[in-house]
Amino acid sequence: MITNEFWLDRWNTGRIGFHENEVNQSLIQYWPNLPLGSRVLVPLCGKSNDLIWLVEQGYDVTGVELSSLAVVEFFGDNDLAYTTEQTAYGKLHSANEMTLRVFEGDIFDFDGKVFDACYDRAAMVAMPSTLRQSYVEKVSACLREDAHILMISLHHDGNIDTPPFSVSDDDVASLWQRNIHKIASEDLVQTNSRYKESEYAYFEESVWRVLPDEL
- 11 in a known ligand binding site: yes
d(CA 163, CA 192): 19
Q: Which uninterrupted H or E stretch holds 133?
A: helix 129-142
Binding mask 65-94 for ligand SAM (x = CB under 6 A): xxx--x------------------------
Residue 150 DSSP symbol: E
Compute the distance between CA of residue 148 and CA of residue 32 in angstroms, rounded to an integer: 8
3-class state of residue 200 by DSSP: coil
Residue with Cβ nearer ligand SAM (21 or 36): 21
Q: Applying CB under 6 A, does 100 fall inside the site for ligand SAM?
A: no
Measured over the CA atoms of residue 85, residue 138, residue 106 and residue 11, the dihedral's sign is negative
Q: Any contact of residue 107 with ligand SAM (CB under 6 A)?
A: yes
Question: What track of x and - describes contact with ligand SAM for positions 164 through 183 (by CB under 6 A)?
Answer: --------------------
Alpha-helix runs per DSSP H in 13-67? 25-30, 50-56
Flag whether 144 is marked binding. Answer: no
Shortest Cβ 213–ligand SAM spacing (Å):
27
CB of 114 to ligand SAM, least distance (A): 19
Instruction: Name the E strands within the chain.
Output: 39-43, 60-65, 82-86, 91-95, 100-104, 115-121, 143-156, 179-187, 203-211
Number of residues forming the site for ligand SAM (CB under 6 A): 20
> Residue positions in the annotated binding site for S-adenosyl-L-methionine?
11, 44, 65, 121
> Residue positions in the annotated binding site?
11, 44, 65, 121
Q: Give the footprint of ligand SAM on this chain (CB under 6 A).
A: 4, 7, 11, 18-19, 44-46, 48, 64-67, 70, 106-107, 121-123, 126
